Structures are given as structure tokens and as C-alpha cells.
Structure 1
Amino acid sequence: MLTRRHFLAATGGALALPVSRVWSASTLDLGGARIDTLSDGFLTLPGNFILGGMPETELQEIVSRYGLATDQLTPPCNVTLWRDGTNTVLFDVGSGPDFQPTAGKLAEAMEALDLSVDDVTHVVFTHGHPDHLWGLLDEFDEPIFANAEFAMGGAEFDYWTDPDTVNTIGEARASFAVGASRRLSVIGDSLRRLTDGEEVLPGLVARLTPGHTPGHMSFDMTAGSVPVTVVGDAIGNHHVGFERPGWASGSDQDKDLAASTRTALLDRLAADQVVLIGYHLPDGGIGRAERSGEGYRFLSGV
């Protein structure tokens, strides 16, 4: 049965699954498990951070169709919460207070669901960028999710904790490296390093999806009534990322590898009708990929 309710924010779309709206979050009932995407707010980015270098004429046609400006983009930030009756798992932890003033709102979203940080049993990171990692510590540099077990791709952890990364990542992202290293050093001794294909928990499998960052991971949920993949930033937006997945994007650290990863991932998600959850996709980020013309389109909501 399809159910839906609206509170503070409305959404739309065409996904034939039981999705409801809670505060600024979306909920998906998998039968025995529940997924909520919790809003951490949104980012304010210069348009060329994502769109720079793309074919201008074709790009303009796409962004105009989506009603986007090219000088500034404001992507949402969706933190995924998975509860199976035993485990309460967060995928990423948002920005915290130190990245952008429009983000770092995860605590408010959790409060709206009557969820305490002490309830979280596991935190699984897709990658180490600020909007995914910097909400890890409190003002005393202690982990906010004190009862949780932490996990991240091993290659991703190694990259951000390598002292040379700050010198090789480029000036624009040097602060990313400093911030990631500081935070990961706090939990490094206990953090689980994941490999491609490793089962994180029963019904939750890590998948290496590199390019956006060197060790970026997505996560397949296989135990519910429908297959679901948390894609993180492997698909970073609902417009050019879907319509032209092979285009290089300025938001990716290895642009060519990210485009190859994105194309292969969308091929699989569309062919297998997998529900996807994207960190920067609209309406809570829950939807499907459907083939359309030369690429795909994102179908969000119900």
C-alpha cells in the first residue's frame, strides 16, 4: 500500500514504492527494515564547481530545462538512516557547524524522528568530503555518535590520512584534506576498513565506486523487499549527472574515472530497477534511474 504524508516540506515524483514525507526527510518501508533520508540542509556552490568544462550549448539546454542557474547551485544534503530492528545505521554524518552555514542540520532532523545520537549503532562513510564527514566530532573533538561502530572504505581512509594528500589534492581542496585527517585520526584505531564486495552487516554490502574520491563507496541493501543502493556522490546531481553521465564534472577528483563509474552504475541501477538514494538528489534523494535518450533521468518520490 502506498502512503504519503507531508510535514513542513512537499515533494513529488513517480516512484511506485511506499514513501512518506517526515519533516525534511523521506521514508521508505522495505518490509522488516526502514530507510529515512534526513536533511542536513544544503550547500551553496559556484556553478562551475560542477558544470565547469562541460559542452556549453548542450549544457545550457539541459540546465534551462531543469530551471537551474549556471552561476550558483544549491544541492540538498541527504543523510541516509537504515533501521532493521537490530541495527541503526547512518550513512555519513553531514557537515557539522564548520563547513557552510546552510548545512550541518542533521541534529534537527534526528530530533524530529525522536532519534538520539546514542541510538546509532553504526556509521558508514561513503567518502571523506566535508559535507559527509565533518559532522563526526563535537566541540571537544569527541565522536558525537559515541556508541557507534565506524566503517569506511580502506582506500578512502588511507587517502585522507596520508600526510602527503594535503600537498597533492590541490589548493582549493587542501582544507578538505586537513579536516578529514583530523577527524579520522580520532576514530582511526577503531574504524573498520572496508573492501569492495565486503558485507558490512547482514544484507548490507560495500561496493567500490571510485572517481569522485579515490576510495568512494556505495552500499547495496539486499535484504529488503526491493534492492536499494546508497550511491553517495557517485551520482552527484539529478540533471547532467543522469542525462550525460559520461561528461567530466569539476566536483570529481578523478574526472574520467568518476564518469566511467557513474555510467556503469546507472546502467546497473536502471537495468535492475534498483531504488537509489543520492546524497545530493532532490526530494530526499530516493528514486530510480530510467533510460532516456542518450542518458537517463531521475524519477523521485512516489
Structure 2
Amino acid sequence: MTLTRRDFISRSAAGSVAGALGLLPSLAPAQIAMGDMQIDVVSDGSLTLPGGFIFDPMPKDALAPILEKYQLSQDVLTPQCNVTLLRMGDRVVLFDVGSGPDFAPNAGTLLTSLEGLGVTPEDVTDVVFTHAHPDHLWGLLDDFDDPLFTNAQYMIGQAEWDYWTNPNTVSEIGDARASFAVGAARRLAMIEDSVTFFKDGDEVMPGVAARASFGHTPGHMALEVRNGSEAVMILGDSIGNHHVAFERPEWASGSDQDAETAIKTRLSLLNQAATDKMRVIGYHLPGGVGYVDKTASGYSFVAGG
């Protein structure tokens, strides 16, 4: 089966893109302790993407050695999906909620991963969304289409909420992504009575600050978690992979809705993380947690907490 970028975007919401490589997600969480903060990066499984979903806008001759270096297929990619869990005091916080059962056949394993840590959906006190793409949002509802995290308060960037709840978005986003817009609007409507909004620079809760990281989506947010001199940046999809996003962050990616803005965001975040020696958590980075190193020509991802 040959997967095209358009096939993935338009058909995966119906679960029709098969797990072509049959990969099983790792359920072992990465862990970071910062004072009274405990961060676990847990698996929501993985996606099976056509390579063109990311690579189509990139110069093929310059891309080839990067694919070889990272032993990547130009046809199929299988990125992990990493959800961040923060526990501090009486708060149990999820940053994004995964795919749920309706987006991709290899994803939707978040509840199993949380169970391994002794965390139930009822334990979750707060859910903070980086953005409203399906693999970050569609795990919001249970099998009865009710909110799964029954005791949670929800937080999302104001610009992101405004974009996905705008009735014009479904017709303006393009046919391939229209299902994303329909799915986001339906799910966000279910939490409108228990959601609060934040903007760039806001402290969304003690020790957690919002960082505008627009481009992948119009209102995408990263979150900086800080305890004293220690800090971790939860990137969401603002740095969406461990290969071309680091090696050539100035290249446009097919996965970004606003490629030029996303490039500026990537360059800013990579520079900050490398300069400050700050750990990063990436939704699709191998193992979830690592550092950013500056290289002669770009950056590199160094996995590990």
C-alpha cells in the first residue's frame, strides 16, 4: 500500500490508514523529577504517516543524505506519540490527551499507559492543550461521547480555540483537513463550560507558563515547566520530529498549516533550548525527552532526560 500525504490527512480520521509496519508502542515512561514536580512522558502509541506528509515541500537532493543518516524511509514514517503527565501537590495534569480510538489504529493507548502509573481518568485535575489536531485532542471523549476526564478543568490557547470553533474554518482549511476541523469543533463544544483560555506569557498554573509557538496550527502553544533553576519545555508539535526539524529547521514542513511562521517558531525554540541547555519534551520525538545541541549546520536532538 502506498500512502500519500493527502490520503493520510483526509482518511486517517476514519481509521483507514493501516498500521503498515505493525509497530507496537513502548509503554515505559520517561521520568523527570524537579523538586515536588514529577513529570512522566507516557505513550499514546504511534502513527503511520506517508513520508510526503512532512517531506513534500523539501528539496529532494538535500533531503536524501538526511534520510540516510537517520535510516528513514522516504515513503513511510512511524513517529511515537508522547503525552506529558505532570503531578505536583494535589494536581494531576495532562498536556494533550492523545488520539482516542477514532484516529489511527496504532494510537490511542494513553489510558493503558496511565494505568501503568496508577493514574485513572478520574484522577486528572487539569488538561492543557498544545493544539487541537486529532492526535492531541481526540482522546477527550469516552465511548459514549462524553468527556473522559470527568473531574478535569481544561485550558487551551485563546487563538487556538477561536480558530477551531470558528464555523468558517471547516470550509477554509481545505478539503484534506476538513475532518480535522469537524472533529475539533465537536469535541471542543463538549468542554466549553469547563475551559479557560490563556495567551503567550500567561502562567496557566504555578510553575507552568505559556509560550506562543504558532505555525503548526494557528494558535499552537508550548508550555514551559519550571521549578527554581530547572526547566522543561513541552513542545507539542512545534518541533515535530528528530531529523529534518533539527538538521534543517529553516525548511518548510508539509505537516505545518503555516509553514513560514512554523519555521520562525522552530528556530526560536531550538536556539533557546540549545543556549539554555533546557530539556525538551516533544510529542513525536523518540523517547519524548532530550536536549538540543547546536551543530555546525543546524541542531541535533540528544535523547534522554
Contact 1:218 1:230 in 2 (8 A): yes
Other-structure match for 1:177:
181
Q: Which amino acid aligns with 1:193?
A: F
1:85 CA drift (Å): 2.1
Structure 2 unaligned spans of 5+: 1-25
Corresponding residue number in structure 2 for 1:220: 224
Which letter does structure 1 place at the counterpart of 2:208?
A: L
Which protein, 1 or 2, shows the higher relative CO under an 8 Å CA cutoff with sep ≥ 6? 1
Q: How many residues are paired up?
A: 280
Report the CA distance between 1:188 and its aligned residue.
1.3
Q: Determine the structure 2 residue equivalent to 1:34.
A: 38
Q: CA shift at 1:225, angstroms?
A: 5.3
How far apart in 1 are the matches of 2:127 and 2:68? 38
How do 1:151-190 residues align onto structure 2 when only pairs under 5 Å count? 151-190=155-194
String of CA shifts for 1:162-202, please: whole Å, max 9, x gaps: 01101111111110000000000010122111111110111
Question: Of the candidates 116, 139, 144, which is equivalent to residue 135 of structure 1?
Answer: 139
Q: SS of the residue aligned with 1:249?
A: coil
- More deviation, 31-40/211-220: 31-40
Alignment partners' CA distance in 2, 1:133 and 1:174? 15
In 2, distance between residues paired with 1:219 and 1:129?
17
Q: Percent identity?
A: 55
Give the structure-2-normalised TM-score: 0.90
Q: Distance in 2 between matches of 1:222 and 1:54?
A: 35
- 1:224 shift after superposition: 5.2
Q: Does 1:61 pair with 2:58?
A: no
Partner of 2:86: 82
> Which of these residues, 260, 263, 282, is aligned with residue 278 of structure 1?
282
Q: 1:222: how far off?
A: 1.5
- Partners of 2:152 and 2:124 in 1: CA distance: 6
Match of 2:292 among 277, 286, 289: 289
Task: Report the Cα offset of residue 29 of structure 1.
Answer: 1.3
What does residue 48 of structure 2 align with?
A: 44
Contact 2:234–2:281 (Cα < 8 Å) also in 1: yes
TM-score normalised by length of structure 1: 0.91
Runs of 4+ in 1 over 4 A off after TM superposition: none
Q: Give the corresponding residue for 1:121.
A: 125
Distance 1:99 1:258 in 2: 24
After superposition, the CA RMSD in angstroms is: 1.1
**Cα shift at 1:31:** 2.2
Tell me what 1:109 maps to. Answer: 113
**1:141, distance to aligned residue in structure 2 (A):** 1.6
Match of 1:267 in 2: 271
Q: 2:261 aligns with which of 257, 276, 281?
A: 257
Separation in structure 2 between the aligned mates of residue 71 and residue 176 of structure 1, nearest angstrom: 23
Q: CA deviation at 1:251?
A: 0.1
